[in-house]
Structure 1
Amino acid sequence: MICVDVSGVRLEQPDKVLFEDLDVTVTRGDRVAVVGVNGSGKTTLLRILTGALQPDRGQVRFGRGARITMLEQDPVLPPGTVAEYLGDGWEIAAVATSLGVQPLFDRQTDELSGGQAKRVALAKVLVDNAGTGDAENAHDMIVLDEPTNHLDLEAIEWLESRLVSMSAALVLVTHDRHALDRLTTQVGPSKVVELDHGRAFIHQAAAGSSAYSTYLDARAERVEREAQEESTRKILARKELAWLRRGAPARTSKPKARLRTATEIVSGGPRDLGVRANDLELGAGTTRLGSQVVELLDVGQRFETDGDPVTIFRGVDLVIEPGARLAVVGPNGSGKTTLLDIIAGRRAAALGTVKVGTTVVVGYADQHSSSLDPELTVRRTVAGPLREPDHEDKALLEKFWFDSTAQYAPVRMLSGGEKRRLQLVMVLARQPNLLILDEPTNDLDLDTLRSLEDYLDDWPGALVVASHDRSFLDRVADHVLAIEPGGSMRRVPGGVGGWLAERAAQAGRTGAPTSSSPTRTASTRGKPKASRSGPSPSTIGRRLRETEQSMVKAQKRVDDLQAELAAMTDHTALAERGTVLADAQQKLDSLEAEWLELAELAE
């Protein structure tokens, strides 16, 4: 059954064409992902596919009797209680429990936060489709705009399984690359619609293969034909593809110079950025961090609800050392944001002691949108009121896909995702040495996520992050700390995947044994202290990153010398430069050998 057929569609804004000559057909059972940078028109296209918006040109035809529903990025719920909106029944109870909605049943819909309203609206879409598509109210096509926002890791895993089982067509926009890969790897048809600078490209996957991977490969071939100067995007996407193809067991730090042999892939975005990722000294202005960053001793937090004290977490011992890369995970409501606030000094701990080093400069990107002056330009917003924008502001903005034109645009012209991206740049521009990120991936496009990951690869400070994006956590975090039911906290072996497997086992969804609970003090150290037999893991991790950065510079030196030699004709000059090249290559080989030794120690 054809749900919707789009032919020759064009839509433009006053300052640009979002897309034109777009042709796509969605039939029942299809899996379609829409990708593109913030502001490229992804949400607009979803609204055209549902009939909520008419294009400037082209035809949109809907199948006879096709039933289509959409989860908006910021849904507006009808008045009444959540229970009245969702209805009752076992299916509703099951979905509401999995999405963390059941405690909201007695709340009025106009009292919900944006994240709560999003989860309630998602529950309604899923309930109406009853998992199999055979219910009386089931839809033929389900359109989801950022469905994983405001969900914890367990809920996202459950949602993926639920969507895979549905027989309806699925059209979605999401920044979650794990979800993109899984939901576009189907026995039936799957495709990726890519929006890139006013153009639209359709990437169809072969049966059983991932349309997301197909898109990455096809994009690489197209951009290779179009322009060699897309080096920034090729580097970022090359890292991602190499990381993806190595598989989960190998998704740990690897020498960045060795990723040059991976399949060249790129992702769309502004052209002629004028800045190469490796040429940008990303942390050059970061304040030097002393030996002490933050230490939590027997910290706990509690609040009063109706006069009764409620403990969120307790007994947390945590040492954040220079170079730390910590991910904090836990179900929604477990206290992740509260813990980050305590680490950042934004909230006092009810119990215990917090020690902060004298050299610490905190940069905090939280979940809430800080106020932005709509009339200020992007570059003026980043620089702040006390100084003029400089070349470092320009380079940082370009790193996060604000090209020269976008930097002079007023904030009011930005999309919601672009504003979120700007807020992230504002935090980084303050040059902190302790970076705290609370759900940083919400509303960011895939290009910005890759840029942020690349930035953090070379960033010299300490990092603490809470996120529901598994791919992001795998890339940026060395250690995973879990807030457990009951408020205890411990270090998790196996990273995010290990924690999810444990939670599934504890919930009885698999036959895997549950893990035992380790002692509090030993398990909650973000970075274990050095043993007598060798350097501490934090020292090894820091040396690994430093060696990787040196390898990148050494590889660039070798590449530059090889290019010089290729252009030379004078035999004397060739001999001289050849000697220099040999020395540079020897230095690179030495660094790679050092990296391998450190990697073995880390493992």
Structure 2
Amino acid sequence: MICVDASGVRLAQPDKVLFDGLDVTISRGDRVAVVGVNGSGKTTLLRILTGALRPDSGEVRFGRGVRIAMLEQDPLLPPGTVADYLGDGWEVAAVATSLGVLPLFDRPTDQLSGGQAKRVALAKMLAENGVGAAAEHDMIVLDEPTNHLDLEAIEWLEARLVSMSAALVLVTHDRHALDRLTTQVGPSKVVELDAGRAFVHQAAKGSSAYATYLDARAERVDREAKEESTRKILARKELAWLRRGAPARSTKPKARLRSANEIVSGGPRDLGVRGNDLELGAGSTRLGNQVVELVGVGQRFAVDGSDAVTVFRDVDLVIEPGARLAVVGPNGSGKTTLLDIIAGRRAPALGQMKVGSTVVVGYADQHAASLDPDITVRQMVAGPLREPDHEDKALLERFWFDSTAQYAPTRMLSGGEKRRLQLVMVLARKPNLLILDEPTNDLDLDTLRSLEEFLDDWPGAVVLASHDRAFLDRVADHVLAIEPGGTMRRVPGGVTGWLEERSTRRSASPVRTTKVADAATSSSAGAGASGGGVAAGSRGKQKQASSGPSPSTIGRRLRETEQAMVKAQKRVDDLHAELASTADHVVLAQRGEALAVAQGELDELEARWLELAELQDG
């Protein structure tokens, strides 16, 4: 059954074309992902495919009697309680439990946070499209469905979506979900929106459409780079002809003049990614040996007028220079609270915190929507006490805010552009301790990859909480897990190891905890936590002496060695190229000696990297 058939679809804004000439057909059982940079029109395309919005031109035809449901990025729920909205039945209870919605059943919908409302709306849609559900839809459209879900819930959601027979159309930044949901026996495809163009990448049977898209895009970027090189050669020739003076009486020179102007004024397409544009670490303030230390820290909250509930307790944590620390745990376990304490936004109820004198904190929290809607982008970066300068302009351009966007009020930005602006505002302070709370929410895939590259080379310390598994695997050296009962510990095997542990526990105990209060009071005080180089241990117990470098130190040395290996490999490659391009015996001898030295240095670095990798794994 064909759900939607779009042909020649075009949509433009006053300042740019979002997409043009888009042809895509979606049938029941298809898996379709829409990708593109923030502001490229992904959400707009979803609304066109559901019939909520008409394109400027082209045709969108819907199958007879087709039933389509859409999860908006910021859904609006009707008045009443969550229980009234979701209804009852075993399917509702099962979905609500898996998505962590069950504790919200008695709460009015107008008292939910944005993340809670998103989870409730997702639960409603999934419950209506369960096995044998009477209201099952033919096509499900999801706009960033993994936002505000914890890692376990995301895994459950993927499995649920894979089992559905309805067509699935989604926008998501979660690369694990993209790969899994577009690797199907049936048809799967990726619709790519890039600088006003639209590309549809169809996967071969049983292969990943996401991988197909990545391959095709890489080939297109290479091809367009070669075309740009040819254009530059032509432009130089035309400029030389113009400087010599062009005769203006005959038709042929006039045509040549028009051709020259077109070539010179032309340029490469904006591919959405600008190479190493995010290399901003050099502007950070120097960080001393002491960053942040937590000693016996705990936090308590009163819930609904009842006695105080302990969220976490007895946290002993040292964050060293260069640390890359991720905090994981279910929603409501206290990740944001811990980040607030580390950032100095909140005082701990128990224990004490020590902060180094050179620490400058940059905190990107989850509240990008709190930006003043009437202030321009450039003024938001400069702040209220000064006028924007050339450094602000350069910083904004590195994050893809061009001259026009810099003078736009923030109310005109998309959700992803607001998140990007928030990161710029944080980095403009030149921090050396960067705290990121769900930094991947609403960011496009290109920005995510660029942010990962930036953090690879950034010299400061990073503490983050995220539900994006690919981002955590790439960025974090160490993972701290907040466990039921408020204990915190370092997790062997990183995010993957933590998820496997949780899965094993669920298999052994099928009853899932539904309230933070129940979790907090059902377990005794536990061990402290270690991250950035401290051994785990309970408060009051004697800490064991370290027998070697701390994990944070090993991680930092690994990164430094990897960077040195890249430089050494480039030196070896350059010397090989010089040897191949000369016939001078003297030069050959000199370059040969230099190559032997460079190769020896590279071998030593590789041996050092292997030793450090073994230490880290151990």
Same fold flag (TM > 0.5): yes
**Equivalent pair of 2:487/2:525 in contact (CA under 8 Å):** no
- Aligned residue pairs total 558
TM alignment of 1:3-14, pairs within 5 A: 3-14=3-14
Report the Cα offset of residue 536 of structure 1.
2.5
Report the Cα offset of residue 25 of structure 1.
0.5
- Which has the higher mean CA deviation after the structures are superposed, 141-150 or 370-379? 370-379
User: What is the aligned partner in structure 2 of residue 548 from structure 1?
Assistant: 562
1:252-300 CA distance string (max 9 Å, x none): xxxxxxxxxxxxxxxx993497x642x8753112222222211111111
Report the Cα offset of residue 79 of structure 1.
1.3
User: What is the aligned partner in structure 2 of residue 592 from structure 1?
Assistant: 606
User: What is the aligned partner in structure 2 of residue 295 from structure 1?
Assistant: 293
For the structure 1 residues 49 and 585, does the alpha-carbon distance in structure 2 shift closer, same or farther, using more than 3 Å as the test? same
User: What is the aligned partner in structure 2 of residue 261 from structure 1?
Assistant: none
Please give the alpha-carbon distance, in whole angstroms, between the structure 1 residues aligned to 2:574 and 2:406.
Answer: 31
TM alignment of 1:563-574, pairs within 5 A: none
Report the Cα offset of residue 527 of structure 1.
2.0
User: What is the aligned partner in structure 2 of residue 140 from structure 1?
Assistant: 138
Please give the alpha-carbon distance, in whole angstroms, between the structure 2 residues aligned to 1:585 and 1:572.
Answer: 20
User: What is the aligned partner in structure 1 of residue 157 from structure 2?
Assistant: 159
Report the Cα offset of residue 534 of structure 1.
3.2
For the structure 1 residues 409 and 587, does the alpha-carbon distance in structure 2 shift closer, same or farther, using more than 3 Å as the test? farther
Task: Provide the aligned C-alpha RMSD in A.
Answer: 2.9
User: What is the aligned partner in structure 1 of residue 254 from structure 2?
Assistant: none
**Equivalent pair of 1:401/1:448 in contact (CA under 8 Å):** no
For the structure 1 residues 98 and 597, does the alpha-carbon distance in structure 2 shift closer, same or farther, using more than 3 Å as the test? same
User: What is the aligned partner in structure 1 of residue 534 from structure 2?
Assistant: 528
TM alignment of 1:68-107, pairs within 5 A: 68-107=68-107
User: What runs of 5+ residues in structure 2 fail to find an aligned partner?
Assistant: 230-267, 511-522, 536-543
User: What is the aligned partner in structure 2 of residue 354 from structure 1?
Assistant: 353
TM alignment of 1:471-510, pairs within 5 A: 471-508=470-507
Q: Which amino acid aligns with 1:471?
A: A
Please give the alpha-carbon distance, in whole angstroms, between the structure 1 residues aligned to 2:508 and 2:140.
Answer: 27
Q: Would you say 1:311 and 2:310 are equivalent positions? A: yes
For the structure 1 residues 153 and 284, does the alpha-carbon distance in structure 2 shift closer, same or farther, using more than 3 Å as the test? same
Q: Which amino acid aligns with 1:83?
A: A
Q: Which amino acid aligns with 2:12?
A: E
- Which has the higher mean CA deviation after the structures are superposed, 376-385 or 88-97? 376-385
1:8-48 CA distance string (max 9 Å, x none): 00000000000011000000000000000000000000000
Report the Cα offset of residue 196 of structure 1.
0.5
Out of 213, 219, 222, which is 1:221 matched to? Answer: 219
TM alignment of 1:324-339, pairs within 5 A: 324-339=323-338
User: What is the aligned partner in structure 2 of residue 236 from structure 1?
Assistant: none
Report the Cα offset of residue 136 of structure 1.
1.5
TM-score (norm. length: structure 1): 0.85
Q: Which amino acid aligns with 1:362?
A: V
Report the Cα offset of residue 451 of structure 1.
0.9
Report the Cα offset of residue 537 of structure 1.
2.2
User: What is the aligned partner in structure 2 of residue 125 from structure 1?
Assistant: 125
**Equivalent pair of 1:370/1:423 in contact (CA under 8 Å):** no
Q: Secondary structure at the match of 2:533?
A: coil
1:188-237 CA distance string (max 9 Å, x none): 11111000011111111112111111111111112111115999xxxxxx
**Equivalent pair of 2:30/2:188 in contact (CA under 8 Å):** yes
Please give the alpha-carbon distance, in whole angstroms, between the structure 2 residues aligned to 1:451 and 1:292.
Answer: 29
TM alignment of 1:376-395, pairs within 5 A: 376-386=375-385, 393=392
**Equivalent pair of 1:270/1:403 in contact (CA under 8 Å):** no
- Which has the higher mean CA deviation after the structures are superposed, 286-295 or 25-34? 286-295
User: What is the aligned partner in structure 2 of residue 30 from structure 1?
Assistant: 30
Q: Which amino acid aligns with 1:138?
A: E
TM alignment of 1:433-448, pairs within 5 A: 433-448=432-447
TM-score (norm. length: structure 2): 0.84
Report the Cα offset of residue 582 of structure 1.
5.9
TM alignment of 1:435-474, pairs within 5 A: 435-474=434-473
User: What is the aligned partner in structure 1 of residue 169 from structure 2?
Assistant: 171
Q: Which amino acid aligns with 2:552?
A: S
Q: Would you say 1:284 and 2:298 are equivalent positions? A: no
Report the Cα offset of residue 521 of structure 1.
4.3
1:326-384 CA distance string (max 9 Å, x none): 11111111111111111111101101111111121111111112643545554443333
**Equivalent pair of 2:37/2:272 in contact (CA under 8 Å):** no
Q: Which amino acid aligns with 1:109?
A: T
- Which has the higher mean CA deviation after the structures are superposed, 41-50 or 98-107? 98-107
Please give the alpha-carbon distance, in whole angstroms, between the structure 1 residues aligned to 2:426 and 2:3.
Answer: 44
Please give the alpha-carbon distance, in whole angstroms, between the structure 2 residues aligned to 1:359 and 1:56.
Answer: 55
Please give the alpha-carbon distance, in whole angstroms, between the structure 1 residues aligned to 2:50 and 2:458.
Answer: 43
**Equivalent pair of 1:316/1:520 in contact (CA under 8 Å):** no
Q: Secondary structure at the match of 2:281?
A: coil
